[in-house]
Amino acid sequence: MSKITKIEEVKITLPKAVFGVKVSPKLLATAVRVHLGNRRAANAKTKTRGQVEGSTRKIYRQKGTGRARHGAIRAPIFVGGGIAFGPTGEQNYKLELPAKMRRLATVGALSTKAAKKAVKVISGVENASGKTAEVAGMFAPRTLVVSTLAAVKFNRACRNLERVEIIYADHLNAYKILAYKQLVLTQPALKELVKKYGSVASEN
């Protein structure tokens, strides 16, 4: 029998302490917002009237024209002029979420996926050869595979799959869980998650 047949889904009852916790939707939304805010880079930048190239000559005389008083053509009111109160490229979008809230949000996201029956557990990853062909077709599009650092060959086999992302159990967060349609856990990863988050519900 080839090794590929040994990597398969197993029927298992997911621990309620990690996959059966009720969490406020507001907490999940906050966790997602914090994660996206921390990934955001201040790339946008505009020029003020002092930075825009152009003449500083008064565009027309002060009085007698019947029009409003204006100075240089670089004023924000004119097309091609500077931007008033625009982004400077130095904005700080970093946000922080307390560790307890972050852990509870992760458990809440896992519980949300479990409630939707979108969590699967697979065994036999230690038998992987490291070739993508042996895991091709095992996962549906938009699947997040949660593995461990020790499953080197299995992790390597999954990395080239399209629309499938693999992540280590200790790097898991609420945003990643909610961003994917399906969640697949290896048995070692499930043990790590239970060990790390099993007491979260009782802490709050």
pLDDT for the residue numbered 2: 40
What pairing do the DSSP bridges indicate for beta strands 143-147 and 164-168?
Answer: parallel
Sequence spans of domains, the chain: 3-23+97-203, 41-92
Structure tokens given for 158: 């999954």
CATH homologous superfamily for 3-23+97-203?
Ribosomal protein L4/L1 (3.40.1370.10)
Is residue 185 exposed (0-12), middle (13-18) or buried (19+ Cβ within 10 Å)? buried
pTM over 0.85: no
Q: List the chain pLDDT tens, one digit each, 204 residues.
A: 344 447 888 999 999 999 999 989 999 999 999 999 999 999 999 999 999 998 889 999 999 999 999 999 999 999 999 999 999 999 999 999 999 999 999 999 999 999 999 999 999 999 888 999 989 889 999 999 999 999 999 999 999 999 999 999 999 999 999 999 999 999 999 999 999 999 886 676
Cα separation, 111 vs 6, whole angstroms: 28
CA triple 181-196-138, angle to 5 deg:
35
Tell which residue, 53, 40, 49, 50, has the closest CA to residue 89. Answer: 40
pLDDT for the residue numbered 204: 63
59-98 b/e (C-beta count within 10 Å ≥ 16 → b):
eeeeeeeeeeeeebbbeeeeeebbeeeeeeeeeeeeeebe
